[in-house]
Chain A
Amino acid sequence: MHEHQTFAEDVAELALEQYADKTIDRRTLVKALGMLGLAPVFFKSGAAFGQVKELVVVNWGGPAIKAYQNAFGKPFEKKTGIKIVIDGTGPGAGKVRAMVDAKNVTWDVLDAGVGTALLLGSKGYLEAIDYNIVDKSKVRPEFVYKWGISDYLFSFVLTYDGKKLGDRKPTSWKDFWNVKDFPGKRLLRKNPIGQLECALLGDGVPHDKVYPIDLDRALEKIREIKEHTVFWGSGSQSQQFFMQGEVVMGNLWHNRSNLLRRDTKDRIQWTWTDGIVASGVWSVVKNNPGGKDAAMKFIDFAIGDVDGQIALFKVMSSGPANPKATAMVPADMRAYDPSQPENYNKQVKFDAEWWGKNEIEAFERYRDVISS
């Protein structure tokens, strides 16, 4: 079991569940999952990459990989001569390191969490994104990094059970720490990313002062709420805590909050206010077998594929990375999209630079606080 699920892994899991439930059709599934890691790469000329026979794109796809390889990989191969191999193992940091160390790299492109990408990149396990090939103006400048570039947006949002809390609805993280007026168990994540931020917001720190994170202050705030709190590891687990009625308030990925809202007919809701909006990233493994340039071309295509990003959002609530796609989201679905300006502007923008420098210390100390 992988203990620290990434957002991408969670999204893939959900898509498969929905497909099984028949709430989405196969074409939409293929398209959306394609966006997670297999968006079509239409190379201008196959000859330019004459040496490239295949690209391995790694996501958290799961058992349905084979089904969309048939529906998607094969047509692509026909078009460009380059085979797309989909590997659903999941681009965990440890696995990438193991293959690079062993000089046996079999993966090309990763759909990675930004923390994973920064850690791997800083230790030399990734190729830097080549911005001569990848047009970074296709995505928001906040989420352009040396070791990866935005593939879709997601948020950590304050989610609550409206029925259990009665008439008073929490409106900010300050209410999350107010156990007197809002009694009941809380839910936070085992991993400190997105949690230390909400602790500071709950302590009255304004949006623009959240970073650099004051670790001592944030952890003190976590310690204060710990006895009223349980901690989730995977997205499905966070949903389960709410469905079991175990908690009244939590810090969840917005896609899970949106599912809870839908499944409980609005009993469980969330607010974009004080959310923390972050981005998953496309990254390329060091010395990837398909060659750096082909992998970069793939990424450049994916971040420009507006229709694909909208399809992805419709199925999995993942916010489009490309602002052009954001503008084309149907009006009735905008309330659930973290990338819409009216939602986006209410949130704190995730600072990957701070996390890149402090992840290990934050991780160690956070886990120590919650488990002791």
Chain B
Amino acid sequence: MNAGFRERQAYWLLIAPAFALMLFFYLLPLVQLLWISVTEPAPGLGNYKSVIASAPIRRIVWTTLRVCIETTGPTVILGYLIAYAMVHVNRGQFAWMMLCVMLSFWVSVLVRAFSWLVMLNTNGVVNTFLISTGLAAEPLSLAYNETGVVISIVHFMLPFAVLPIYANMAGIDKIYVAAARGLGASPWQAFWRVYFPLSAPGIVGASVLVFVFSLGFFVTPAIMGGGKVVMLAEYISVQIQDLLRWGLAATLAALLLIGVFAILAIMSRFIDLRMLFGAK
């Protein structure tokens, strides 16, 4: 037995308690969940069949995917701009920008949803401003609909886009752009043909992260949607808490989980997931 092997064994022992904890409190309930989905109300794949056959559930799945796509685009674009600025400012400015990004990270999702409500409702701050300045004649419908839900989720998800994109950009040597400029490229060409392709992994990573996180949004659509934007998480919660249809809820949760794993599996061919989730 060589020393390297013993050392590795010791590392495994060190993580064993954490692993056991995960197994017991995370994986076991997950298996239970899958079990409920094939046993209640009757054994078999009945729940999966009825989910696929149900037009209302299809509509909810579509709403969920649509909101997530609508969210991911603006979040990643804004995140890219912020991250780009962050790698190009001086240390003092960078610290302030990082603080602002992290601050919004720490404010509860509930507080943020209500703040957006104050901003966006018919008589809210934004509409009052637009009307008093004559930019709009009628109040815009910004809250209690999908627009409000998307705005609110974009705001929530922004740090999840900024951080991976920033991590990627920080690793891009500025000398490449300088070299491109030196070889006669215009500023735009240097960015678009040299910098942007180098930052693409950050963009893809951020997109996956934002999309996957958005799939599970619950509080924001419930508050900002005015009852008209029902996403999967809210639907599952109603089935469990109010209608006691645990078989159906477990099936939907299982499908959501499988969907997320499938996305990650596909994306892992293109990007390093360990980097994305901060393991590296």
Q: In the complex, what residue of chain B is closest to A367 when comparing beta carbons?
A: B230
Chain B residue numbers with a CB within 8 Å of A3 are 222, 234, 237-238, 241-242
Chain B residue numbers with a CB within 8 Å of A95 are 241
Chain B 144-156, CB-CB to A under 8 Å as 1, else 0, gives 1000000000000
Query: Are A190 and B227 in contact, with the CB atoms below 8 A?
Result: yes
B243 within 8 A of A: yes
Q: Which of A221-275 contact B (CB under 8 A)?
A: 226, 230-233, 237, 244-246
Query: Are A371 and B63 in contact, with the CB atoms below 8 A?
Result: yes
Task: Quote the shortest CB–CB distance from A250 to chain B (angstroms).
Answer: 12
Given contacts A94-B241, A244-B123, contact A367 B222 (CB under 8 A): no
B240 within 8 A of A: yes
Chain A residue numbers with a CB within 8 Å of B219 are 1
B43 within 8 A of A: no
What interface size band does chain A fall in? 35 or more
Query: Are A94 and B242 in contact, with the CB atoms below 8 A?
Result: yes
Task: Quote the shortest CB–CB distance from A358 to chain B (angstroms).
Answer: 12
Chain B residue numbers with a CB within 8 Å of A363 are 238, 242-243
Task: Quote the shortest CB–CB distance from A126 to chain B (angstroms).
Answer: 12
Task: Quote the shortest CB–CB distance from A234 to chain B (angstroms).
Answer: 10
B56 within 8 A of A: yes
Q: In the complex, A360→B54 CA distance in Å? A: 14
Q: In the complex, A123→B41 CA distance in Å? A: 12
Q: In the complex, A363→B248 CA distance in Å? A: 14
* A372 interface neighbour in B59, B227, B235, B246, Cβ under 8 Å: B59
A364 within 8 A of B: yes
B121 within 8 A of A: yes
B104 within 8 A of A: no
Task: Quote the shortest CB–CB distance from B209 to chain A (angstroms).
Answer: 24
* A245 interface neighbour in B122, B228, B244, Cβ under 8 Å: B122
Q: In the complex, what residue of chain A is closest to B225 when comparing beta carbons?
A: A371
Q: In the complex, what residue of chain B is closest to A233 when comparing beta carbons?
A: B222
Q: In the complex, what residue of chain A is closest to B124 when comparing beta carbons?
A: A244
Query: Are A233 and B227 in contact, with the CB atoms below 8 A?
Result: yes
Task: Quote the shortest CB–CB distance from A263 to chain B (angstroms).
Answer: 17
Q: In the complex, what residue of chain B is closest to A4 when comparing beta carbons?
A: B242
Q: In the complex, what residue of chain A is closest to B249 when comparing beta carbons?
A: A94
Task: Quote the shortest CB–CB distance from B167 to chain A (angstroms).
Answer: 32
Q: In the complex, A190→B242 CA distance in Å? A: 13
Q: In the complex, what residue of chain B is closest to A115 when comparing beta carbons?
A: B242
Q: Which of B205-254 contact A (CB under 8 A)?
A: 218-219, 222-223, 226-230, 234-235, 237-238, 240-246
Query: Are B227 and A370 in contact, with the CB atoms below 8 A?
Result: yes
* B245 interface neighbour in A92, A226, A360, Cβ under 8 Å: A360
Task: Quote the shortest CB–CB distance from B275 to chain A (angstroms).
Answer: 33
Chain A residue numbers with a CB within 8 Å of B229 are 371
Query: Are A371 and B242 in contact, with the CB atoms below 8 A?
Result: no
A368 within 8 A of B: yes
A119 within 8 A of B: yes
Q: In the complex, what residue of chain A is closest to B231 when comparing beta carbons?
A: A371
A203 within 8 A of B: no
Chain B residue numbers with a CB within 8 Å of A174 are none
B194 within 8 A of A: no
Q: In the complex, A83→B171 CA distance in Å? A: 64
B110 within 8 A of A: yes
Chain A 194-232, CB-CB to B under 8 Å as 1, else 0, gives 000000000000000000000000000000001000111
Query: Are A359 and B243 in contact, with the CB atoms below 8 A?
Result: yes
Query: Are A123 and B144 in contact, with the CB atoms below 8 A?
Result: no
Chain A residue numbers with a CB within 8 Å of B223 are 237
Q: Which of B41-73 contact A (CB under 8 A)?
A: 55-56, 59-60, 63
Task: Quote the shortest CB–CB distance from A65 to chain B (angstroms).
Answer: 21
Query: Are A123 and B244 in contact, with the CB atoms below 8 A?
Result: yes
Q: In the complex, A245→B242 CA distance in Å? A: 30
Query: Are B227 and A230 in contact, with the CB atoms below 8 A?
Result: yes
* A93 interface neighbour in B123, B228, B230, B244, Cβ under 8 Å: B244
* A231 interface neighbour in B226, B237, B244, Cβ under 8 Å: B226
Chain A residue numbers with a CB within 8 Å of B56 are 364-365, 367-368, 372
A-B contact pairs, 8 of them (CB 8 A): A3-B234, A93-B243, A94-B241, A230-B227, A231-B228, A233-B222, A359-B243, A364-B56
Other contacts beyond A232-B227, A244-B121, A371-B227: 5, CB < 8 A? A190-B227, A230-B144, A230-B226, A244-B122, A371-B228
